[in-house]
Amino acid sequence: MTPTDIPTDTAHTTTRIGSLVRDARLHRGLTQQQLAARLGTSQSAVARIEQGNQNLTLELLGRLSAALESELISLGPTGPTHLRVAGGHPLRGSVAVKSSKNAAVALLCAALLNRGRTTLRNVARIVEVERLLDVLRSIGVSATWDDEGHDLTLVVPDALDLAAIDADAARRTRSIIMFLGPLLHRAQTFELPYAGGCDLGTRTVQPHMIALRPFGLEIEARAGEYHATVQHTGAPARAIVLTERGDTVTENALLAAARTDGTTVIRNASSNYMVQDLCLYLELLGVGIEGLGTTTLVVHGRPVLDADVDYTISEDPVEAMSLLTAGIVTGSELTVQRAPVDFLEIELAVLAEMGLRYELSAEYLADNGHTRLADITIHPSELRAPIDKIHPMPFPGLNIDNLPFFAVIAAQAAGSTLIHDWVYDNRAIHLSDLTRLGADVRLMDPHRVLVNGPTHWSSAEVICPPALRPAVVILLAMLAAKGTSVLRNVDIIARGYEQLYERLIEMGAAIEVFHD
């Protein structure tokens, strides 16, 4: 469990410590009643602590740390988090895929549309979700975790206090841009901090501007904020052609259309997993949606959405690919359970072409009643480079977030593999860090790397790249490298993964978390 410093905002502090207590308890396999017994208190007191509703003294924090065998808090700076990895050992057993981060953040934004109670089940407990919850709570939304810390209930007030928005949390999550679609129904003018902590400028906002303009929203990006004005057109029908088939752009258009009276046709829409989760949730609210899973969505909006709904978020295909890659590069026999095969078909086809031996269980439905799941068992395999380059495409193509994993897989394969990351500027550069661990990865230009294999991995000390998926790729390569490696400044990994290190350890990985 990672310690946290004491900030000045007491309410924020107790909420964060409550989350740490809950995660440590669950990691130890304790119920709230069992933890209460260790503390000599009641189950309801433990529930209040985990919800952030209990005053915390240093004495109580010390007792909690002792009961959970985990340092929960530090009175001074702890410094960045690092990993020490003893690699070269195969993994074993099975691991279940957790729920989708990208779907979770979309649904948190979508809850702003609902006058009723939204209960989201199986929510990923990751930094990105917690940041977005900080923003929602700052504007008046009630967000309450259940006792086990997996299900989240949200109640949105009639009036949002946008002037009180937690600007620091908002600037640290790119998901804030998906507030635009819901908020255009709540205010005629409003401001939002720039997403992601940097000046994204008009170019990045442009696809969202095009998608939301038919709903009367005009956006100007300046002075560190999005400045939005709304003039509702009142048109009974509207057609939107997205200039890029982006996930968040499609979601923003859906969020705007959901409470707009009449019919909205969205063409060139993303049909990716998080978009499908969003559509299924909106249907529960009473929004009519045709074309689920296709690139043309027809949305029959309703000006008032008022329903008490429960929705279970589907499993994350990118996490599934991460876990499969961990097994592939370590030459393991491993089963990845609850993998959303709808969103892994191209990846599995490419892996089969490269010589990976794997088996699929019979398919079954996710708890949302829609997404197809299967258990994937991989076997140690002699891999070869694919004939063609590996590149991403919008769904149903190879997922852009899964592309970096093919760099470390290609390093295991005999021959040369060209990885073409045409979507993101400069992300491919971070894949060249694999050379520190013995891989032959040649940067052709900011979008292409040539990987020659097979690799005889060697241990090394590497500073974590400032990009989530390449950071995980380096960690997975360290699992394959004999000897002890050190990966420094790994906090970015917690932005997109829940208890990744602990779960790898349960499969046999030797990973130690430490601080300076």
Q: Are residues 385 and 243 in the same domain?
A: no
Which residues, at least 6 apart from 376, have a Cβ–Cβ distance to it below 8 Å? Answer: 320, 324, 335, 336, 339, 341, 344, 348, 358, 359, 360, 361
Residue 5, domain member (yes or no): no
Q: Are residues 135 and 108 in the same domain?
A: yes
Q: Are residues 91 and 59 in the same domain?
A: no
Q: Are residues 299 and 404 in the same domain?
A: no
pLDDT at 44: 82
pLDDT at 341: 97
Please tell me whether the peptide bond between 396 and the residue prior to it is cis, using omega within 30 degrees of 0. yes
Q: What is the CA radius of gyration of the chain?
A: 23
Residue 123, domain member (yes or no): yes
pLDDT at 175: 86
pLDDT at 221: 77
pLDDT at 408: 97
Which residue segment(s) compose the domain that 178 sits in? Answer: 101-312
Please say which residue of 275, 295, 312 terminates a domain.
Answer: 312
Q: Could you tell me if 432 and 467 are in contact, meaning their C-beta atoms sit under 8 angstroms apart?
A: no
Q: What is the CATH number of the domain that holds 225?
A: 3.65.10.10
pLDDT at 19: 79
Write down the pTM of the prediction.
Answer: 0.84
Please say which residue of 279, 312, 345 terminates a domain.
Answer: 312
Cα three-residue angle 272-346-324, rounded to 5 degrees: 95
Q: Are residues 355 and 242 in the same domain?
A: no
pLDDT tens readout for residues 5-60: 434 355 667 777 887 888 778 777 778 888 877 776 778 888 888 888 877 776 67
Q: What is the mean pLDDT of residues 338-352?
A: 97
C-beta neighbour count of 251 within 10 angstroms: 31
Q: Are residues 36 and 145 in the same domain?
A: no
Residue 3, domain member (yes or no): no
Q: Are residues 247 and 107 in the same domain?
A: yes
* C-alpha span between 466 and 475 (Å, rounded): 13
Total number of domains constituting the chain? 3
Please say which residue of 312, 333, 363 terminates a domain.
Answer: 312
Q: Are residues 290 and 352 in the same domain?
A: no
Q: Are residues 487 and 460 in the same domain?
A: yes
pLDDT at 237: 86
* For residue 183, pLDDT beyond 60: yes
Q: Are residues 168 and 30 in the same domain?
A: no
Q: Are residues 256 and 183 in the same domain?
A: yes
Q: What is the mean pLDDT of residues 402-431?
A: 91
Of the given ranges (70-74, 111-115, 124-128), which has the lowest mean pLDDT?
Answer: 70-74
Q: Are residues 111 and 62 in the same domain?
A: no
Q: Which two tokens stand for residue 269?
A: 């829409």
